[in-house]
Amino acid sequence: MTLLLRRQAGTAEAESSQPPHCLPVRVYYEDTDFSGYVYHASYLRFLERGRTEFLRARGIEHRGMFTNGAPGGLFFVVRSMIIDFLKPAFMDDALLVETGIARVGGASVEMAQRIRRESGLVLTAKVKVGLVQSGKPMRIPEEVLARLKLTAVISKNIVENSKL
């Protein structure tokens, strides 16, 4: 399982003071529909990038998990998603994708996400992901769970301040 994790400096005390992970995203023409509004499916890509960078910041590497597509590779899969579209975003908007942990279970993780811009909240999402190996659900390895559980403490405020 050491392929999953890369070494991370710092102590639990230092990490517990961190805010939820934030990823800046710019809205491009390709993200919009004919009206210039962000197309609803584009938000899914923004949220996916936020979750991926969130994991990367915690030392959980997708490349190591996938083992280049080899049999036995581990994959996070989305089980469910609840999205509340609050306000539209437009071409050239600078958005911020905030990602945190709402709950960590033995085989799944609920992530809370928000997309905001300077003028306020655009979207909230609650995403439940699970881990599969060779096409079958599996428990999340202890090394990964430990990092996610630590982050769950950090992420409490993203859930408390969310409309979901």
What residues contact residue 84 under an 8 Å CB cut-off, 6+ apart? 123, 124, 125, 163, 164
**Looking at the domain that runs over 21-160, which CATH code has it been given?**
3.10.129.10
Structure confidence at residue 70 (pLDDT): 55
Averaged pLDDT, 76-105: 95
Domain range list for the chain: 21-160
Q: Is the pLDDT of residue 157 over 60?
A: no
- In tens, the pLDDT along 35-79 reads 999 999 999 999 999 999 999 998 887 776 666 555 667 888 999
The active-site residue out of 31, 33, 84, 92 is 33
Integer Cα distance of 68 and 65 in angstroms = 8
* Contact by Cβ (8 Å): 60, 99: no
β-pair type (74-85, 120-133): antiparallel
Told to judge if 33 belongs to the known catalytic residues of this protein, a careful annotator would answer yes
